């Protein structure tokens, strides 16, 4: 379910929380099991954080760069994720992980499925901030044709049920810089991973 502008009223609180988080757990370009460095910068908050290492993808309770636990999930993140999930028919959603992606010119996310979470009955809530991006969503096979959706600052999407395991990706940024974030797009994905 697409909730256009759902996060707009919380913009200031969200961006402030992202800044604080990046002070504690800086954005980094992780290395994939295939040996490539990802073009999207990533960090996490919450009890669990998604990481890619040369050995595989997984959720970890500590930031491997510092050895510290990930920053705590801010209250405004939990509230936003729960209210968006509720609007899409998922009552009681309480994420334990938030992956924060940072796109700059040239960054892209190739088609993938999110399969490292324990329970696929739990939705994923995504929040787009900053520059717009074309989001691609396919089917349950990589080869299925893709639909495209322009995700803009403040948009929230709830991915659940039959859509939860769709292949999806993000094309490189195009268009105008964002007044507040410049040539950057920040995407928050809330997950119940454990
Ligand atoms: C559809 N992030 O972090 S958010 C990711 O814009 C990821 O940064 C993209 O894909 C981004 O894994 C897309 C929208 C999204 C997130 C999770 C999904 C769509 C999804 C899981 C299943 C199906
Ligand atoms: Fe994904």
The phi, psi pair for 82, rounded to 5°, reads -70, -40
d(CA 173, CA 183): 8
- Say what the pLDDT of residue 100 is: 98
Q: How far apart are CA 107 and CA 135, in angstroms?
A: 13
Is the Cα torsion angle 69, 71, 72, 73 positive or negative in sign? negative
Ligand 1 atom 22, closest CA:
164
Return the residue whose CA atom lies nearest to atom 8 of ligand 1: 187
Selection from 64, 3, 56 nearest residue 28 by Cα: 64
Ligand 1 atom with the smallest distance to the CA of 128 is 6
Q: Which of 149, 160, 189, 191 to mutate to test the pocket of ligand 1 (most atoms within 8 A of CB)?
A: 189
Q: What is the DSSP string of 81-141?
A: HHHHHHHTT-TT---SEEEEEEE-TT--EEEE----SS-TTS-EEEEEEES-EEEEE--SS
CA of 126 to the centre of ligand 1 (A): 7
- Per-residue model confidence (pLDDT) at position 130: 98
pLDDT digits (tens, 9 = 90+) for 81-121: 999 999 999 999 999 999 999 999 999 999 999 999 999 99
Cα(180) to centroid of ligand 1, in Å? 23
Q: What is the pLDDT of residue 142?
A: 96
Helical pair 75-87 and 11-24, crossing angle rounded to 10 deg: 130
Q: Which atom of ligand 1 is nearest to the CA of 168?
A: 1
Task: Find the Cα–Cα–Cα–Cα dihedral 67, 108, 140, 47, rounded to 10°.
Answer: 20
Q: What is the pLDDT of residues 111-155, one digit of tens each?
A: 999 999 999 999 999 999 999 999 999 999 999 999 999 999 999
List CB-based neighbours of ion ligand 2 within 5 Å: 114
Question: Shortest CA distance to 161 belongs to which of 85, 72, 77?
Answer: 85
Q: What residue's CA is closest to ligand 1, atom 15?
A: 126
Identify the sign of the CA torsion 172, 177, 180, 182.
Answer: positive
Q: Is the pTM of this model over 0.85?
A: yes
Please write the tens of the pLDDT for every residue from 38-91: 999 999 999 999 999 999 999 999 999 999 999 999 999 999 999 999 999 999
Ligand 1 near 157 CB (within 6 A) = yes
Provide the pLDDT for residue 107. Answer: 98
How many Å lie between the centroid of ligand 1 and the Cα of residue 169? 7
Substitution candidate for ligand 1 out of 6, 41, 187 with most atoms within 8 A of CB: 187
């Amino acid at each position: 379910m697409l909730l256009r502008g759902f996060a707009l009223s919380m913009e200031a609180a969200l961006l402030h929380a992202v800044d604080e988080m990046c002070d504690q757990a800086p954005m980094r370009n992780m290395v994939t099991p295939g040996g490539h460095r990802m073009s999207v910068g990533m960090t996490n908050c919450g009890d669990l954080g998604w990481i890619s290492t040369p050995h595989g993808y997984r959720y970890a309770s500590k930031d491997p760069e510092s050895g510290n636990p990930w920053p705590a999930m801010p209250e405004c993140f939990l509230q936003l994720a729960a209210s968006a999930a509720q609007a899409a028919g998922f009552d009681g959603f309480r994420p334990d992980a938030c992956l924060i992606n940072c796109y700059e010119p040239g960054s892209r996310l190739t088609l993938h499925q999110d399969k490292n979470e324990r329970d696929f009955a739990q939705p994923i809530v995504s929040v787009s901030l900053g520059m717009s991006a074309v989001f691609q969503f396919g089917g349950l096979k990589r080869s299925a044709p893709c639909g495209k959706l322009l995700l803009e600052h403040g948009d929230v999407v709830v991915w659940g049920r039959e859509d939860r395991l769709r292949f999806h990706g993000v094309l490189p940024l195009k268009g105008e810089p964002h007044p507040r974030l410049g040539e950057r797009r920040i995407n928050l994905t809330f997950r119940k991973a454990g």
